[in-house]
Structure 1
Amino acid sequence: MREMAPVRPFNRRKVLVLSASWFASGGLLAGCSPRAPIFKSTDITGAAFAQDLKLTDHTGQVRTMADFRGKAVVVFFGFTQCPDVCPTSMTTLAEVKRLMGDQGKQLQVLFITVDPERDTLPLLKEYMTNFDPSFLALRPEPTELKAVADSFKIYYRKAEGSTPTSYTMDHSAGKYVFDTSGAVRLFSSYGTEPGVIAEDILTLLKSMDV
């Protein structure tokens, strides 16, 4: 008859230690907050600037960020007579919306003119139709422009031309991205690929659904 191996005494302390460790790790996992989303654009969550706006859009309606709750918002400053940077940026944003597919309906693009002297509401409306009918152009009064630009940390400067009306505008060319609650979250520099911006906005929308 084969000899039975001796039965080791029950080590209650060891079991308790293991159990405590297991529950502790489980508790930590259960109590963890969701991982912060990772973006390719510059994350400026919590910034003390770009808080809100109150401007007239190209339809004549006064707008604030509260009007766009539930949507991701991209804000870009430019002017209609800009020869390259502005149309390139707006074309990029139109492509961003297309790449987002059905979720493109949750994107609102706002174009704020830094040339209110020449950019009338009808001209801004016509300009937006070149890119996407859902995009809105906002026009500060000339006396409001500095305060609006300062509140978004936007640089602009008039560069005189050969005639009083042939001037151009130097200006910041980045884009601010706001989440669905109206808080500024991301800064996307000029030249960022549409796919990168679209991916960041989709990540942002997903994080707001958690």
Structure 2
Amino acid sequence: MMRSILIGILVLMTAGIGWLTFSWYSTHYGGEPFGAPFALTDQTGEPITEAALRGHPSAVFFGFTHCPEVCPTTLFEMAGWLKTLGDEGKDIKAYFVSIDPERDTPEIMKTYISNFSDRIVGITGEPAKVEAMAKAFGIYAKKVPTEDGDYTMDHTASVLLLNGKGDFAGTIAYGESASNAIAKLKRLAAEG
């Protein structure tokens, strides 16, 4: 009897959390695609807009090329996940958006990303426009001075998952197991 009550409470809590998440998303995004319109530059120097995140599932990661650990690890893992998915994930597009556009020019992004995968598209641009995009996508980013007079960037370390309509479909947390990440990407690919 007690077990049934606990299971019932757990089901109600799960439903409540789901409803709150849906309610928050609906209130903040009103059914519109996640984020906001943007006009930036890809790693080849070509213009890129929010249209690039429509018509197919997307995995979007915000980071910077001078990142010592989180960004290279995430890009390495992302490349591995996509490779593991093979044909099952062929429609998923992957993006790496620089939160440090002052240093991350298209040329630097192209060289950096080429070390990981040819399936990941780099995005950079004018600092104010990059900052606006990050904010619209709920990404925390802050420049932090270092003792040597340089700086690093604190930032959200999750990969955002968007469906083919550009709607938020979940996240892959930094350090999440490969099996969980691949399961989430399989579900994303299946839903389109």
Range class of TM-score, shorter chain: 0.7 to 0.9
What is aligned with 1:170? 154
Whichever structure has more helix as a proportion of its residues is 2
Cα RMSD (Å): 2.2
Structure 2 residue 49 is matched with structure 1 residue 61: no
What SS does the aligned partner of 1:55 have?
strand
Equivalent pair of 1:55/1:62 in contact (CA under 8 Å): yes
What is aligned with 2:79? 94
What is aligned with 1:120? 105
Structure 2 residue 174 is matched with structure 1 residue 202: no
How far apart are 1:68 and its partner, in Å? 4.5
Equivalent pair of 2:40/2:129 in contact (CA under 8 Å): no
Letter in 2 for 1:81: H
What SS does the aligned partner of 2:83 have?
helix
What is aligned with 2:168? 184
Structure 2 residue 124 is matched with structure 1 residue 109: no
What is aligned with 1:12? none
Equivalent pair of 2:89/2:186 in contact (CA under 8 Å): no
Q: Structure 2: which 5+ runs fail to align?
A: 1-20
Q: Could you report, residue by residue, the CA deviation over 1:89-148 in whole angstroms, capped at 9, with x for unpaired residues? A: 111101110111112321211111111111111000001101101211100311223311
What SS does the aligned partner of 2:190 have?
helix
Q: Structure 1: which 5+ runs fail to align?
A: 1-41
**What is the aligned-residue identity percentage?**
34
In structure 1, which of residues 150, 164, 172 is the aligned counterpart of residue 135 of structure 2? 150
C-alpha separation in 2, matches of 1:142 and 1:78: 14
What is aligned with 1:136? 121
Letter in 2 for 1:206: A
Structure 2 residue 81 is matched with structure 1 residue 81: no
C-alpha separation in 1, matches of 2:103 and 2:148: 14
How far apart are 1:45 and its partner, in Å? 6.9
After superposition, the Cα gap between the structure-2 partners of 1:129 and 1:200, relative to the gap in structure 1 and judged at 3 Å, is same
C-alpha separation in 2, matches of 1:171 and 1:69: 25
- Rg (Cα) greater in structure: 1
TM-score where L is the length of structure 2: 0.77
TM-score where L is the length of structure 1: 0.71
What SS does the aligned partner of 1:100 have?
helix
Equivalent pair of 1:113/1:138 in contact (CA under 8 Å): yes
Letter in 2 for 1:133: D
Letter in 2 for 1:110: Y
Equivalent pair of 2:43/2:124 in contact (CA under 8 Å): yes
Equivalent pair of 1:55/1:64 in contact (CA under 8 Å): yes
Letter in 1 for 2:158: G
